[in-house]
Chains A and B, each alone.
Chain A
Amino acid sequence: MAYKGNNINPQTFEKGQAKLIAILLPLAMFMLLPIVFIICHAFKPMQELFAFPPKFFVSSPTLDNFKKLMKASQSSGIPISRYAFNSIIVTVIVVLASIFLSTATGFALSKLKFKGKFMLMEINNLALMFVAVAVMIPRYLTIDFLHMTDTYWAHILPLLAMPVSLFLVKQFIDQVPDALIEAAYMDGANDWKVYYKIILPMIKPAIATSAIMAFQQVWVNTESSNLYVSDENLKTLAFYMNTLANANNSVAGQGIAAAAQLIIFLPNLILFIILQKNVMNTMASSGIK
């Protein structure tokens, strides 16, 4: 039976949808607030940014903040495109590589048999709990030890092993039926082929979800530019936007910060909208028996 939207639900909602929607709609409004806020905030003129009590919606939108941002970025030595280029390269590599790492590891931990795999999962769970801030300096020393300061690697490597996405992906691979994999082995597939032709297509939703998470982590990451990279040419867009907002005095900086926030946030939203069908399938596909 093909999966069709909602026929998996228990049939308990005959009384009509009105009350459900009545509950969900206001909550949905709340959920939308942050996004509305970011967009509104970027278009607020100066007096609204500092209005007290703070206003949520913009009443007279302007493009002033963006103009100021442009102006500020023109006055710096390195063109903004350079930062954007760095960010894009780093983000693409991290997202692709972390997806590869977590799916391959998830496949091995879930479907292949070897010694020590439970221990590895435990290590992952432990890493999940630990505070990232606490390892800041040792991590710097490691990067220094590997001679990777002032390279792209300093941006990329610390973020590659993502415990959360490994956790998620492994949960999904657990649900891939063993019979399917055995059938593939019977037909002469090797492990690599099973991974590539069966596992990957079947866990697309999990991949999409972890891609979004990875993207979000890398894209807004300023720590690596702050700590590991001193060469201006190799810093990322998020870091640059931050400095622009902080470098100017706090009053003018607020407007620039708001505009920069929106610019940094937009790719997140766009990626989410592109991948949303897959992410929403995260819920749907796990319903298939």
Chain B
Amino acid sequence: MAKKSKKEKAPKPQKVRRGKLAMRDAIAGYCFVAPWVIGVILLVARPMIESARYSMSTVRNTPNGLFVTFTGVENYRQLWLNGVTFMTELVAYISRTILAVPVIVVFALIIAILLNGKIKCKGLFRLIFFLPVIIASGPVMGMLVDQGAGSISTLDTSVIENIVGFLPDAVSDAIVNVFENIVLYLWYSGVQILIFLSAIQKINPSMYEAAKMDGASGWECFWKITLPTIKPMILLNAVYTIIFLSGNEQNTIIVTIRDTMFGSQGYGYASAMAWVYALVVTLMTGLIALLLMNKKDQYAKKVKLVKKEAKRQERMLKKAQQRGKKNAKKIAAYKR
């Protein structure tokens, strides 16, 4: 009983103090965030909203300034009905990305595990595998691709083409494309390797020890400990890969959008393209997130369920107790 009263007393003064602290914290927080927020509103959010507006209008660039006339969904309709090249490119991009993401993520995971092993000159190896990051997004990459350095010339893609020939065109093209650009994909995976490596190193070594004691092999350790633990990182890497691939200079869609912007169809049309593209990218990211998140949350879900159940029972108990008290009072009153 004494304990309970203490517990009840404690929150009151704490609440007052917490309010002040929270205020102070909040003010400090806003101070730290303010410059960034101003920057984002001015240079990221506002342009994005503007471009959404343009995508629903015709934009004419004249010497006297920009003329924007609202046309509703006309641009999108045009894109849907007449934008054949854009649509084919979009489909090609989707199938390519869906194939490339697993390739990059799995490759990064394998390399990260290998780099985590005990080898000589580990530092040097890590350095080398991270090195392509510094050129991956630069114009140098474009040059390399032009030179055909992104593919292994000895690898005869016609063989693969024959093998996957029975599949629909879009799919088989994408598969061949992956094989053609395999080296390019290896270069893109620097950051992913970094993220995986840091995640793998964060795993508590005593887990492995315990598993070893119970007679688990390295293979089993990988499937039962490493993989489940780094699952959030797999999601992170997959999302990062999609974003990287879709914002890349080598992406044909970006080039198309840029060309359209200064072409005859104008900026409004290009904005519509960009928004459709952004929507597709977001959808794809969401899809992958759904795919990879489902199983991860199983444990958390169970915990939540158990907690919910416990809370429900507590509530019921309280209700029962209250009812009991009420009833007791009623009975007492009745008796009196």
Name A residues whose Cβ lies closer than 8 Å to a Cβ of B.
5-6, 8-13, 17, 20-21, 23-24, 27-28, 30-35, 37-38, 41, 53-54, 56, 101-102, 104-105, 107-109, 112-115, 117, 120, 123-124, 127-139, 141-142, 146, 157-158, 160-161, 166, 190-191, 195, 209, 212, 216-217, 220, 242, 257-258, 261, 265, 268-269, 272, 276, 279-280, 282-284, 286-287
Complex-state Cα separation, A217 to B205, whole angstroms: 38
A58 to chain B, nearest CB (A): 13
B-side contacts of A53, CB under 8 Å: 148, 153
Within the assembled complex, what's the spacing in Å between the Cα atoms of A158 and B46? 12
Give the shortest distance, in Å, between A31 (CB) and chain B (any CB).
5
- Chain B positions within 8 Å of A, measured between CB atoms, are 22, 25-33, 35-37, 39-40, 42-51, 54, 59, 66, 111, 114-120, 122-123, 125-135, 137-141, 143-144, 147-149, 153, 183, 186-187, 194, 197-198, 201-203, 205, 208, 218, 221, 243, 246-247, 254, 257-258, 261, 267, 270-271, 274-275, 277-278, 281-282, 285
Q: Given A53-B148, A134-B271, decide whether A282 and B44 contact each other with a Cβ distance below 8 A.
A: no
Least CB separation from B121: chain A residue = A21
Q: Are A24 and B22 in contact (CB under 8 A)?
A: no
Contact yes or no, A56 B149, CB < 8 A:
yes
- Which residue in A8, A9, A28, A115 is a CB contact (below 8 Å) of B26? A115
Cβ–Cβ < 8 Å partners of B119 in chain A: 13, 17, 20-21, 24
- CB-CB under 8 A from B118, the residues of chain A are 6, 9, 13, 17
Q: Is the CB of A131 within 8 A of B254?
A: yes
| Among candidates A38, A101, A113, residue contacting B29 with C-beta atoms closer than 8 Å | A113
Bound CA–CA A104/B38 (angstroms): 14
Shortest Cβ distance from residue B215 to the other chain A in the assembled complex, whole angstroms: 14
- Point out the residues of chain B lying under 8 angstroms from A284, CB to CB: 201
Q: Which one of B128, B135, B198, B243 lies within 8 Å of A265 (CB-CB)?
A: B135
- Are A31 and B201 closer than 8 Å at their CB atoms? no
Q: Give chain A residues whose Cβ lies under 8 Å from the Cβ of B133.
A: 212
Give chain A nearest CB distance to B89 CB in angstroms.
Answer: 14
Given A37-B149, A135-B47, the answer on whether A109 and B254 have CB atoms closer than 8 Å is: no
Chain B residues with Cβ below 8 Å from A209 are 194
In the complex, the answer to whether B137 meets A216 with C-beta atoms within 8 Å is yes
Known A-B contacts A6-B118, A129-B243, A138-B47; the reply to A216 vs B134 at CB < 8 A is: yes
**Cβ-defined contact, A34 with B140, below 8 A:** yes
Given the known interface contacts A113-B22, A138-B54, A142-B42, the answer about A128 and B148 at a Cβ–Cβ threshold of 8 Å is: no
